[in-house]
Amino acid sequence: MKEIIIRRNEAGQRLDKLLKKYLSEAPSGFLYKMLRKKNIVLNGKKATGNEKLTEGDLVCLYLADETICKFSARSDRVYGGMPIEVIYEDEDLLLLNKPSGMLSQKAEKKDTSVVEYVISYMLEKKEITEEDFLLFKPAVCNRLDRNTSGIIIAGKSMPGLQTMGQLLKERTLGKYYLCAVKGQIRKERRIQGFLWKDKEQNVVKITKEGEGAPIETEYLPLAWNDSVTLLKVHLITGKSHQIRAHLASIGNPLVGDYKYGDPVFNEFYKKQFQITSQLLHAYQITFPTLRGECKAVSGKTFTAKTPEKFWRMIRGTAWEHGIQEALEVQH
């Protein structure tokens, strides 16, 4: 027999959704059968599974320990500490500076991503137990490409995940990136287009008209010379590969981008600064005014230090304009 007391992270969802998390390996038919037979009850009464849970509710599972163990999946975790810089943390959110080369989320079961490190971090700090992860699993709210570094928001609680999800959906979260691109750009500009993804090749294509998802990207040049520009990019929409493909489509591909970039240009920076992937860094996030959940970050701006390779390129480039602006980039 097992008792589950509904807490803040579990409240607001249907009973059957909670059961599918707790007994994730159990067939749905088994769960509904246990509800019908009153082997699983809510607040001492028979339940159908459609009931919306509130904080303080009691779910009782009159099942053998062996059955519960058989149908419960263990949490993923990584041992050896947190290899990611923590920028900010409270009870709902964790802001991390993801290094280039790390996945935001698993692509395959064997992968290790930011999510697994967050789980391990919370377990080691005793903020949550292995059993708690059967009911709630922290997750990342915004995803970055494997070779894009910078700020990732992780939700440590259900209110944190829901609030950040809403901000991203409404596009009220200010997301700013640093990147180095081919060519000289002198003026601020807002560009638009339509994005179409070739799933087989895992590339996106940008068109001025046509079908697909409309995208908007705004950029401000911080420093430049005849051949390269350091940009601060405001990501207005947030589609896969948007910044990389959008800038490449106007003739300004990212330094080190071997998918959308210029091979000869990339080879120069590989030899000069050991750049082997795109110089794209999720540099800054600005939160809107928040009331209620997550109000601790209301109106605040957070910045992620640039990676060493990116800073080495900034420091080692002979900028014709914007030398001071370039050197003021946090590193």
Every domain of the chain with CATH number 3.10.290.10 lies at: 2-71
Q: Which of 25-29, 76-80, 130-134, 178-182 has the lowest mean pLDDT?
A: 76-80
Is residue 264 pLDDT above 70, yes or no?
yes
Residue 74 is predicted with a pLDDT of 65
The mean of the pLDDT values for the chain is 91
- Report the alpha-carbon distance of residue 230 to residue 296 in Å, rounded: 32
Find tokens 């509710």 and name the residue.
57
Residue 200 is predicted with a pLDDT of 80
DSSP helix/strand/coil, 261: coil
80 pLDDT band, cuts 50/70/90, is low
What lies within 8 Å, CB to CB, of 45 at 6+ separation is none
Is residue 44 pLDDT above 70, yes or no?
yes
Q: Which residue has the higher pLDDT, 74 or 234?
A: 234
- Report the alpha-carbon distance of residue 100 to residue 29 in Å, rounded: 43
Find out whether 22 and 135 touch, Cβ atoms under 8 Å: yes
Residue 134 is predicted with a pLDDT of 81
Is residue 79 pLDDT above 60, yes or no?
no
Q: Angle between the 15-22 and 28-36 helix axes, to the nearest 10 degrees?
A: 120
DSSP 23-45: TTTS-HHHHHHHHHTTSEEETTE
* Statement: 174-327 belongs to CATH 3.30.2350.10: yes
Every domain of the chain with CATH number 3.30.2350.10 lies at: 85-169, 174-327
- Least Cα distance to 195 among 140, 260, 146, 141 occurs for 260
Percent of the chain beyond pLDDT 90?
Answer: 72
Angle in degrees, CA 87, 238, 180, rounded to 5: 70
Q: Which CATH architecture has domain 2-71?
A: Roll (3.10)
Residue 111 is predicted with a pLDDT of 85
Q: What is the pLDDT of residues 196-252, one digit of tens each?
A: 888 888 888 888 887 777 889 999 999 999 999 999 999 998 888 999 999 999 999
Length of the chain: 331
For the domain made up of 85-169, give the CATH fold: Pseudouridine synthase (3.30.2350)
Q: Angle between the 308-316 and 263-273 helix axes, to the nearest 10 degrees?
A: 100
